[in-house]
Structure 1
Amino acid sequence: MFGDLIGMMGKIQEAQKKVEETKQRLNHVLIDEKSSDNLLEVTLTANRTIKAIKIDEALLEDKEQLEDYLILVLNKAIERASQINDTEVAAAAKDGMPNIPGMDMFK
């Protein structure tokens, strides 16, 4: 019984390590999102850290329009980054978890 428990704890620690490694790797996965007219482009990591914002000169003339563009494009980029992050972290966690009957948390 204790051997199973020790083995299970080792698997859980291994899963935690895989999740951490995945999170570190996602710092280097870049998501680019553009407005439909290419006047604004943002780049962020799959961990949702903004890396770059490129703004066309035309948007600098209208503060409200620029704010609207930033909200729309950043939200789209964050949504894509979140989907990638959630999928990758869940896969890493599931891959390393021990098989415990009744504990299918990552289906």
Structure 2
Amino acid sequence: MFGDIMGMMGKLKETQEKVEATKKRLHTVLIDEASNDNLLKVTITANREIKSIEVSDQLLEDKEQLEDYLILTINKAIEKAGAVHESEIAAVAKEGMPNIPGLDGIFK
């Protein structure tokens, strides 16, 4: 009985380390997003850190339009980054979870 618990604890610790390593790796996963007309481009990491923003000269002439473009494009990039982040972390966590009845549906 205690051997099973110790084995599970070891597996959970190993999984936690893998999750942390995955989080670090996600700093290097870049997601590019652009406005529909490509006047604004954003690059963000899977950890939702903005790496670059490219703005067309055309957008610099209209502050309100630029603000709208920034909000829409950055939000789309954050949504994509969040999806990548969650799926990567869930995959690592699911892989390392011990077989506990009732918990098999958590990471689907």
Q: Partners in 2 of 1:50 and 1:106 — Cα distance? A: 28
Consecutive unaligned residues of structure 1, counting only runs of 5 or more, are none
Deviation at 1:99, TM superposition (A): 1.0
Please give the alpha-carbon distance, in whole angstroms, between the structure 2 residues aligned to 1:45 and 1:3.
Answer: 41
Moved over 4 A (4+): none
Q: Name 2:40's counterpart in structure 1.
A: 40
Q: Structure 1: which amino acid aligns with 2:98?
A: P
User: Which consecutive unaligned segments of at least 5 residues does structure 2 have?
Assistant: none
So what's the TM-score if we normalise by structure 1? 0.97
Quote the offset at 1:103 in angstroms. 1.9
TM-score normalised over the length of structure 2: 0.96
Separation in 1 of the partners of 2:98 and 2:30?
31
Equivalent pairs counted in the alignment come to 107
Structural mapping, 1:1-107, within 5 Å: 1-104=1-104, 105-107=106-108
CA-to-aligned-CA distance 1:49-95 (integer Å, 9 cap, x gap): 00000001111110000000000100110000000001000000001
